[in-house]
Amino acid sequence: MIAELKLLKLQGKQYIPDITKATIPPPFKGKPIINKEPADKDLLESICPTNAIQKNPFSIDLGKCTFCGACAFYAPQKITFTNEHNMATNVRENLIITEGEENHILLNEALIRKEIRSLFGRSLKLRQICAAGDNSTELELNATENVNFDMGRFGINFVASPRHADGIVISGPLSVNMAEATQICYDAVPNPKIIILAGTDAISGGIFQESPALKREFIQKYSIDLYVPGNPPHPLTFINGILKLIRKKM
């Protein structure tokens, strides 16, 4: 008993007191800033592994970006990845960062369904569906519930049964082989329900775009309540994204 208590003491306080104010130190790659400096745009476009870079206007789509940092490495005068981890949004287009633009990535409040805040504001149970995710997003989603991030304090938890869930969190690019299971699981969640896409692979297919082994119709069929970018998304990106979705004031 004494030994256990000593061990506990040795651990100290592990939890992050205020999740909404927590920061991640650089070189964590969060929201990029693209300035108007000239750069070899062709090179940057061709270097990007996932076609996240578009030339006209020059932009980076965080729904496709794997945050590999290659573009910033070859054009540091033009592209800087800040450590701003608040990147989740309910509007797909908001993930496209255009040159010269320095705004925060926000949620469009008008598009948030009323019942999300009235029903899920204090309690949100989620069923996670790994649809060909590579296990890094899954590990980070598990981390949201660990002693550091402790997402449970906000009433947000992952649950085993879709019947107990208020929504689903999809990770991975959605393989053909998981298409039917994903649909069945979603159908089993009672209404009203939300859909969250966690990670670049889920949002756009990521590096797996154009793979003949994917079937992404599910994503097109439903409206998505939250896009959480990252490869994988950082637990803080995920938790803060959900809090913004379900709570009005924070």
234 binds other proteins (CB under 8 A): yes
160 binds other proteins (CB under 8 A): yes
Question: Which does residue 241 bind out of other proteins, ligand SF4, none, counting CB within 5 to 8 angstroms by kind?
Answer: none
Secondary structure of the chain in the HEC alphabet?
A: CHHHHHHHHHHCCCCCCCCCCCCCCCCCCCCEEECCCCCCHHHHHHHCCCCCEECCCCEEECCCCCCCCHHHHHCCCCEEECCCCCCCECCHHHHEEECCCCCCCCCCHHHCCHHHHHHHCCCEEEEEEECCCCCHHHHHHHHCCCCCCCHHHHCEEECCCHHHCCEEEEECCCEHHHHHHHHHHHHHCCCCCEEEEECHHHHHCHHHCCCCCECCHHHHHCCCCEEECCCCCCHHHHHHHHHHHHCCCC
Question: Which does residue 52 bind out of other proteins, ligand SF4, none, counting CB within 5 to 8 angstroms by kind?
Answer: ligand SF4
Tokens 């504001």 map to which residue?
Answer: 121
The Cα 64–Cα 77 span in angstroms is 22
Question: Which does residue 148 bind out of other proteins, ligand SF4, none, counting CB within 5 to 8 angstroms by kind?
Answer: other proteins
Cis peptide before 57 (omega within 30 of 0): yes
Residue with smaller CB distance to ligand SF4, 59 or 157: 59
For residues 140 and 233, is the Cβ–Cβ distance under 8 A?
yes
55 binds other proteins (CB under 8 A): no
181 binds other proteins (CB under 8 A): yes
Residue with smaller CB distance to other proteins, 98 or 146: 146
141 binds other proteins (CB under 8 A): yes
250 binds other proteins (CB under 8 A): no
What is the smallest separation between the CB atom of 142 and ligand SF4, expressed in angstroms? 25
Residue with smaller CB distance to ligand SF4, 70 or 224: 70
Which of 20, 108, 123, 177 forms a contact with other proteins (CB under 8 A)?
Answer: 177
Residues within the interface to ligand SF4 (CB under 6 A): 47-50, 52-53, 60, 65-71
134 binds other proteins (CB under 8 A): yes
How many binding residues for other proteins (CB under 8 A)? 69
What is the smallest separation between the CB atom of 10 and other proteins, expressed in angstroms? 6
106 binds other proteins (CB under 8 A): no
User: Interface residues with other proteins (CB under 8 A)?
Assistant: 3-4, 6-8, 10-11, 14, 24-29, 46-50, 66-70, 73, 81, 128-143, 146-148, 158, 160-161, 172-173, 175-178, 180-181, 185, 201, 206-208, 210-214, 231-232, 234
